[in-house]
Amino acid sequence: CPVAGCSKAFTRAYNLRSHQRTHTNERPFLCEVCGKAFARQHDRKRHEALHSGVKAHACPGCNKKFARMDALSRHFKS
């Protein structure tokens, strides 16, 4: 990364550009439903799935359902 004080290194140009947005706060990827902005397209797509209402990840212990796997993982830890 060419930013002074940042020692991050990347093998792919796309990953470097994505990382540089953390320094510039550029968020070019907008949610088509609510307009929330994201630095990475992957994050926008993951966010947009929340609007569908589908909760595909269920806790095997209590059967509570979550739209995202990371939310289910946090549930396990609590």
Tell me the per-residue pLDDT of 3-38, one tens digit each, with 9 for 90 and over.
999 999 999 999 999 999 999 999 999 999 999 999
Task: Check residue 76 and give its pLDDT.
Answer: 87
Separation of alpha carbons 32 and 38, rounded Å:
12
Domains and CATH numbers, the chain: 54-78 (3.30.160)
Query: Average pLDDT of 37-66?
Result: 93
Residues 6+ apart with CB under 8 A from 28: 21, 37, 39
- How many helices (H) and strands (E) in the chain? 3, 4
Q: Which conformational region is residue 29 in: left (phi greater than 0), alpha (psi within -120 to 50 degrees), or beta?
A: beta
Helix (H, G, I), strand (E, B) or coil at 34: coil
Q: What is this structure's pTM?
A: 0.70
Tell me the per-residue pLDDT of 33-44, one tens digit each, with 9 for 90 and over: 999 999 999 999
